[in-house]
Structures are given as structure tokens and as C-alpha cells.
Chains A and B, each alone.
Chain A
Amino acid sequence: QKEVEQNSGPLSVPEGAIASLNCTYSDRGSQSFFWYRQYSGKSPELIMFIYSNGDKEDGRFTAQLNKASQYVSLLIRDSQPSDSATYLCAVAARSNDYKLSFGAGTTVTVRA
């Protein structure tokens, strides 16, 4: 079982719609959760982090965490063509000294 798994994608959404990205993790002791955005040929850019169960909103982005279900998601509201990128879910656990474990990423394409 992979430590961090994401929707394989690609995910195509029309401009203005909501894009929903999902991520599950295997280490129940995981404590920190991150979403990074990566444009083609570029390095990952931090979008959000979340530590506690529930929702966390930042502009058009909302991260949702459910530790009981070992599930974290990212919602992108009012999707724009500039949101077209690969989104990486990363998890840090005490058992791994809080080093980041990444999923393979979900590629999102926003259609104009």
C-alpha cells in the first residue's frame, strides 16, 4: 500500500466550476497535511496546509481533513485556466520525523 494515494486523474473541469481533489494516507499517526501546486516543468508551490480535522479556507481554495477516515481533500472554487496544473498531496508524520511523503499528483485541466 502506498503511503499517500491521490485520484489518478486527469481531472477536466469547465471554467467557473469546482474542482475536487482527493487524497488518502496510510499512516494513522500523520499530523501535518499539505497541498502543493506544480506547473509543468516547475517546482512545487505550497497552496495550503492543514493540521486539524475540518475545513480550512484560503481564497478560492478549501482543504478538508478527516483523520478518522485518513482522508484529505482540496476544493478549488470558481476554477480558472491558471489553475491548470498538477496538485500534489503531502503528508508528514511523527513516525517519519515529519519528513514529507507525497502522492503521485492529480493533473487538473480547466477548460475555458
Chain B
Amino acid sequence: ETGVTQSPTHLIKTRGQQVTLRCSSQSGHNTVSWYQQALGQGPQFIFQYYREEENGRGNFPPRFSGLQFPNYSSELNVNALELDDSALYLCASSLVSSGITDTQYFGPGTRLTVL
């Protein structure tokens, strides 16, 4: 167990809807990164939050957005859901010091299905 938690475990939405996924980081960590993992693929970096601000973003459209709270927990919001958004969404917790991201530990993930 990494101490990183995510909710919900599973979610089913329809195309066009909006979804919010949540993540609580491991104790002592100040950074949360979000990844999307499609079936049979490796995780793809969405963005990272550090000190409540976005600290880097992968190749994802603006309808993917996020937040980080003072307790370092984080939310991932996806608007206007598309069928291709169906995936496992992973949150990873880490410690950033001197601008360097330390080892990342993953939560159990949220399985999103878009119908």
C-alpha cells in the first residue's frame, strides 16, 4: 500500500458529461501527478500539481483541468467527455524538492467508462 487514495473506484458516464476524480497524496508528499492509461498502453502524463499550481502538462486538451488543495490532495476534471476518454486514471504522489520530482507512487486508480 502506497498511502495514495483515489475516488471513486469506478465511474460510468455518457458522452458530453463532466467528471471529477479525486486523489489524496501520501503523507509527506507535496506533489500530485495525473496519468491516463488506455487499455494495453503505458500511462500517459496529463499534468502535475505542486504548491497548488499546475507544474507541467502533457499533450491533453484544455477540457482536462485540475486543482490541488492546501492539504496536497487533488482533483482531475474532464469536461465534454468523449468515448476515447475511457481509461484508467492514475494519480501519483511524490515529493518535489529543489525543483526535482522524486519517485512517484501510484494510487489504485479510477476506471472511467464513457458510453
Which A residues are within 8 Å of any B CB, using their own CB?
A: 4, 34, 36, 42-46, 49, 88, 90, 92, 96-105
Chain B interface residue count, CB cutoff 8 Å, equals 26
A96 pairs with B106, CB closer than 8 A: no
Closest approach, in angstroms, between the C-beta of B92 and any C-beta of chain A? 8
A103 pairs with B56, CB closer than 8 A: no
A46 pairs with B103, CB closer than 8 A: yes
A88 pairs with B48, CB closer than 8 A: no
**Per a CB cutoff under 8 Å, which of A42, A88, A98 touches B100?**
A98
- The residue of chain B having its C-beta at the shortest distance from the C-beta of A97 within the complex is B56
A102 pairs with B40, CB closer than 8 A: no
Closest approach, in angstroms, between the C-beta of A80 and any C-beta of chain B? 21
Closest approach, in angstroms, between the C-beta of A106 and any C-beta of chain B? 10
B90 pairs with A43, CB closer than 8 A: yes
Supply 19 A–B pairs (Cβ within 8 Å), ascending by A. A34-B103, A43-B90, A43-B107, A44-B90, A44-B106, A46-B103, A88-B43, A97-B56, A97-B101, A98-B100, A99-B45, A99-B56, A99-B101, A100-B45, A100-B104, A102-B42, A104-B40, A104-B41, A104-B42
Alpha-carbon distance A100/B90, docked complex (angstroms)? 13
Residues on A with beta carbons closer than 8 Å to the beta carbon of B92: 100
Bits for B24-49, please: 1 = Cβ < 8 Å to A, else 0. 00000000010100001111110010
**Chain B CB within 10 Å, residue with most, of A88, A100, A104:** A100
Residues on B with beta carbons closer than 8 Å to the beta carbon of A36: 106
**Per a CB cutoff under 8 Å, which of B40, B55, B103 touches A49?**
B103
B66 on the A face (CB < 8 A): no
- The residue of chain A having its C-beta at the shortest distance from the C-beta of B99 within the complex is A97
- The residue of chain A having its C-beta at the shortest distance from the C-beta of B105 within the complex is A46
B42 pairs with A96, CB closer than 8 A: no
Alpha-carbon distance A9/B103, docked complex (angstroms)? 26
- The residue of chain A having its C-beta at the shortest distance from the C-beta of B43 within the complex is A102
Closest approach, in angstroms, between the C-beta of A107 and any C-beta of chain B? 9
- The residue of chain B having its C-beta at the shortest distance from the C-beta of A89 within the complex is B42
B33 pairs with A44, CB closer than 8 A: no
Residues on B with beta carbons closer than 8 Å to the beta carbon of A34: 103-104
